[in-house]
Amino acid sequence: MSVRPLAAEPLNPQTRSAPLAPRAKSARRAEGMRVYRALRDAINEGRLAPDTRLIEDQLALQFRVSRTPIRDAIQRLQQEGYVVTPEGFRHARPVVAPLVDSDADELCSLVALHEGHAAAAAARLPTDRRLELVAELVSLNESMRREGASSSASHDRLRDIDAAFHHACTHAHCIASAAR
């Protein structure tokens, strides 16, 4: 993207409204998609917490894009329910959608189903592999306990340990399924 110097000739009004070349449209769509995916992933992974304000200027600087791909990404996230605009404010900025009780209940139910299935599969593992899994899960639980008890506990570290625990369970399920 080039920036026109201030001393440059004024823009021709006919070229200003001319449609973008196909390549430029494609590049803009790609930027918007990259921003959309990054924001969606940040929301899903908890790096953007519920009720976090999404400020276009700051996001544009962070992603090194113009505000247009930011607006496109936020609009798509709003359509999908990841982002909401608070009502009652004239110029309210969009925020990450709050997690409501029904969402939390549904999420917990899905996790319980998945982990129950993974535990049943892990129980079918050969004894030596099952004992390795138990040792790995005990170690991860101990890491979680230590990190949580620390006065400088890191939410990112806790999330990473939790993800490793669930990955170990799922991976054990995959091994058990492949062995059949």
pLDDT digits (tens, 9 = 90+) for 78-124: 999 999 988 766 677 899 998 888 878 888 898 888 888 888 888 88
Across the chain, what does the average pLDDT equal? Answer: 81
- Partner residues linked to 84 by β-bridges: 95
Per the structure block, which two tokens stand in for 98?
């709050």
pLDDT for 122: 85
What mean pLDDT comes out for the span 19-37? 75
Q: What letter does residue 11 receive in the DSSP assignment?
A: P
The predicted-structure confidence for 113-142, as pLDDT tens digits, reads as follows 888 888 888 888 899 999 999 999 999 999
DSSP string over 100-164: -HHHHHHHHHHHHHHHHHHHHHHHTS-HHHHHHHHHHHHHHHHHHHHHHHSTT--HHHHHHHHHH
Is the pLDDT assigned to residue 19 strictly greater than 60?
no
- Could you identify the residue written with the tokens 């009652």? 88
Predicted pLDDT at 8: 35
State how far the Cα of 171 lies from the Cα of 163, in Å rounded to an integer.
12
On whether the pTM is more than 0.75, the answer is: no
